[in-house]
Chains A and B, each alone.
Chain A
Amino acid sequence: MTTVSLSLPKMPGAPVARAATLPVRGGLGLKPEHFRTILETLPDLGFFEIHAENYMVDGGPFHHYLTQIRSHYPLSIHGVGLSIGGEGPLDERHLDRLAALIERYEPQSFSEHLAWSSHRDIFLNDLLPAPYNAETLQRVCDHVDRVQERLQRRMLLENPATYVEFAASTMAETDFIGEVVRRTGCGLLLDVNNVYVSCTNHGRSPQASIEALPLAAAEQIHLAGFAQDVDAAGAPLLIDSHGAPIAEAVWALYRFTLDRSGPLPTLIERDNDIPAFPVLLAEARQAETCLQSPRMEVAA
């Protein structure tokens, strides 16, 4: 790609860091408490992912460390504040900030959520659900189109973890996502933990949901841990907490997914109760073991 070759002299570093796409390996969310450890040890890891909004600051240690880490590793930029599912228009100033961040760090991947997080002038700092119907579909597609036009690249849309459903929904979540992918050409960031959490919360089969998603458009996988609660009827209600190790059932669903999707770059997400770096590295290695299993070689 022309854009990649043009960018080569701009940010020298390890050749793998300059690749056009994320490697089909395990990656980790980048946490400030691990900046120094990463630079001192340069662990053998596929890529790092950042939350875009954390780096929308003028200067200081975040940019200092990310610049150095970026020279050694491929990067995924994951937005949490664009509110693609919002009823209002996208915040163009936020898109400008995203464009600047992407220009600066040249990530191999940019992704956002099928969710909303802002309403008028209030930012709610959570990923909120919307009904799956024609109205939401039109809005989400318009917003994804605008993002891809402004950023001049394909974005990945992440399937959500949800706790309620809506009387106003007329489509299955998997069909909704399939339609957004078909209409906008965006890719899928397949959060396997979210599939497991949502399916448990809404009495659906996680395996059937995986098979109903547009796996051909999947370019990255997220894995994370959940917390457990119950609903008013005593049925399990799982919460996408990003605060625990990945559950065995999610590892199993991950292997089920890889059998159908083929190997994909896989991120371990951990945003709360963050353990020492080697603990996270071990989870990333576990994902790589799944990616390299004999079944995968056949699938690949």
Chain B
Amino acid sequence: MNQSHFTAALINPDLPPPPGLTAWNGSDPAQRFRVYRNNVIVSLIDALADSFAVTQELVGEEFFRGMARLYAYANPPQSRLMAFYGTDFPDFIEHFPPADSLPYLADVARLEYRRIVAYHAADVPGVTPEAVSAALADTAALPDMRVTLHPSLSVLSSNSAVVSLWAAHQGAFDLSTVVPDTAEIALVLRHGLDVEVLPISAAAGAFIYELQAGAGLGRAAAEATTIETDFNLASILGLLLQKSAITALNPTRSTT
């Protein structure tokens, strides 16, 4: 026996057990090896079920565990940090034919994974009110001001009602009132110890994407205005500040 044989047999249930196993009473070691097989696959499915709880609720436990089993055998973890296992699970769901009738499922899974990343993201304090006041006072520098957003923050654009579906599963309101094929954009961030999922407009989503790509406030706002002419810059900045999601203000000289 070497660990290559052992590993191959653990992650491929069609293979025989590795050679060289014995049992004190002469019983077939295959039955005993099944304990390891079961430990491995069940622990991986359980990890996915913990991370993708709403996804599981949407399809039911039996369907979810069957889908997770196929994913886990095809994609065993490559990291020892199991909290982040399942990065590609939403993509797997998107291309999993039995789930075709639930086009929103993959995006709900994406939202759940973003929440995990946000939960464990680094702790960085938001900018102080004094820093904000000072920045606002220098109106000439504002268009080129670059902002650093909290490491927990991300935006997820979906053709489905991901925020409403997720919120309904938190008991926020009745699932039957959600129209799943309504496009929604989720802002995910951690404020203090709590991960929040907030619906934002397409323009606000574009604004944040631009900021994350390094654009100054002026260019990001202009981009947002091409999507919604009445884009409200003060409103989204106010939200980000209120959630301590802006962690640095970086005035830059215009380089163009």
Contact surface of A with B, Cβ cutoff 8 Å: 53-54, 56-64, 81, 86-87, 91, 94, 116-126, 128, 130-131, 163-168, 201-204, 229, 231-233, 235, 237, 239
Contact = CB atoms under 8 A, between A and B. Distances in A.
B36 A231 contact: no
Given A124-B7, A239-B39, 15 more contacts: A57-B81, A58-B121, A59-B151, A60-B119, A61-B193, A64-B123, A116-B3, A119-B4, A119-B6, A123-B79, A168-B1, A202-B23, A231-B28, A231-B32, A233-B26
Contact of B1 (A61, A125, A166): A166
Interface stretch (B40-48, B90-98, B196-204, B233-241): B40-48
- Ranked nearest first, the 4 interchain pairs of A and B with the lowest CB-CB distance are A81-B80, A233-B27, A57-B120, A59-B123
Best-surrounded residue of B1, B3, B25 (most CB of chain A within 10 A): B3
Given A58-B122, A231-B25, A53 B32 contact: no
A87 B2 contact: yes
B41 to A, nearest CB: 10
A113 to B, nearest CB: 13
B120 A58 contact: yes
Given A125-B77, A231-B25, A231-B32, A167 B3 contact: no
Contact of B7 (A56, A119, A168): A119
Interface in B1-55: 1-4, 6-7, 10-11, 20-33, 35-36, 39-40, 43-44, 47
Contacts of A117: 80
A164 B27 contact: no
Contacts of B152: 60
B76 interface: yes
B3 A165 contact: no
B170 to A, nearest CB: 17
Contacts of B227: none
Contacts of B7: 119-120, 122, 124
Interface residues of B, number: 47
B114 interface: no
Interface of B: 1-4, 6-7, 10-11, 20-33, 35-36, 39-40, 43-44, 47, 76-83, 119-124, 151-152, 190, 193
A63 B83 CA distance: 14
B3 A87 contact: yes
A165 B23 contact: yes
Nearest to B29: A164
B80 A118 contact: yes
A272 B190 CA distance: 27
Contact of A233 (B20, B25, B36): B25
A39 B230 CA distance: 48
Contacts of A163: 32-33, 35-36
B12 to A, nearest CB: 12
Contacts of B39: 126, 239
A13 to B, nearest CB: 20
A229 B11 contact: no
Given A60-B120, A119-B3, A232-B27, A124 B22 contact: no
A235 B27 contact: yes
B78 A123 contact: yes
B219 to A, nearest CB: 29
Nearest to A35: B193
Contacts of B27: 231-233, 235
A118 to B, nearest CB: 7
A57 B22 contact: no
12 contacts: A57-B83, A64-B123, A119-B3, A125-B40, A163-B32, A165-B23, A166-B20, A201-B32, A202-B24, A203-B25, A231-B32, A239-B35
Contacts of B43: 125-126
A64 B21 contact: no
Given A58-B122, A58-B151, A203-B24, A122 B77 contact: yes
